[in-house]
């Protein structure tokens, strides 16, 4: 395979799949990546990776709902300050903290928020990949070795490159 620096076209989604959204009590914009077509033409399997802004509003039935989805790993891509302000209640799932913030400013929100104010999502995603590639790779490894499904949480644009 030849590797180039060209970013491939955005994969086209299938008409069905958990990427269209799932119902999870207290969580807005919850969805998976199942049903999306990869740049290699394959279809991502439903029920393996989900994402949302956060899981801090799950309520009493939340941990059981995550368990029903077979969520065993939660990748928390938020800053330390975001985690302190809105801790997640995820039941028995293992939480792996992989902040996509600048390591020199781990509790700040400058990396993503400042970029979001002045650049496109594409530029934000490229910035995250370039500056936090090690954290992204660690997240991929966590998903690969997980016995069940994984859930990625982060504010704003961070779940797209992270999950």
Determine the CATH number of domain 18-162.
Answer: 3.90.190.10
* Confidence band for 116, pLDDT divided at 50, 70 and 90: low
- 143-163 confidence digits (pLDDT tens): 899 999 998 887 655 555 555
Q: Which has the higher per-residue pLDDT, 55 or 114?
A: 55
- Closest to 90 (Cα-Cα) out of 48, 49, 61: 61
* Confidence band for 102, pLDDT divided at 50, 70 and 90: low
Q: What is the pLDDT of residue 1?
A: 45
For the chain, which residues make up each domain, given as ranges? 18-162
Q: What is the pLDDT of residue 56?
A: 87
Pairwise CA distance, residues 52 & 159, whole Å: 7
Chain mean pLDDT for the chain? 79
Q: Which has the higher per-residue pLDDT, 3 or 25?
A: 25
Give 63-89 as a 3 state SS string: HHHHHHCCEEEEEECCCHHHHHHCCCC
Provide the β-strand partners of residue 74. Answer: 95, 151
Say whether pLDDT at 5 is over 60: no
Pairwise CA distance, residues 109 & 120, whole Å: 17
Q: Which has the higher per-residue pLDDT, 114 or 67?
A: 67
Q: What is the pLDDT of residue 46?
A: 92
Provide the β-strand partners of residue 95. Answer: 74
Q: What is the pLDDT of residue 80?
A: 84
> How do 31-32 and 49-52 pair as beta strands?
antiparallel
- 38-92 confidence digits (pLDDT tens): 888 899 899 999 998 888 888 888 888 899 999 999 999 888 888 888 888 888 8
Please give the model's pTM, rounded to 2 decimal places: 0.76
């Amino acid at each position: 395979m030849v590797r180039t620096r060209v970013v491939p076209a955005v994969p086209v989604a299938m008409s069905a799949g958990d990427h269209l959204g799932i119902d999870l009590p207290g969580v807005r914009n919850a969805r998976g990546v199942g049903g999306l077509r990869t740049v290699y033409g394959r279809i991502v399997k439903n029920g393996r990776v989900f994402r949302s802004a956060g899981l801090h509003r799950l309520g009493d039935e939340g941990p059981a709902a995550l368990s029903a989805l077979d969520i065993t790993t939660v990748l928390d891509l938020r800053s330390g300050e975001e985690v302190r302000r809105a801790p997640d209640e995820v039941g028995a799932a293992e939480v792996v903290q992989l902040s996509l913030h600048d390591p020199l400013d781990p509790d700040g929100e400058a990396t993503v928020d400042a970029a979001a104010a002045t650049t496109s999502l594409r530029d934000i995603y490229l910035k995250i990949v370039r500056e936090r590639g090690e954290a992204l790779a660690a997240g991929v490894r966590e998903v690969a070795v997980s016995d069940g499904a994984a859930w990625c949480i982060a504010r704003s644009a961070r779940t797209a490159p992270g999950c």
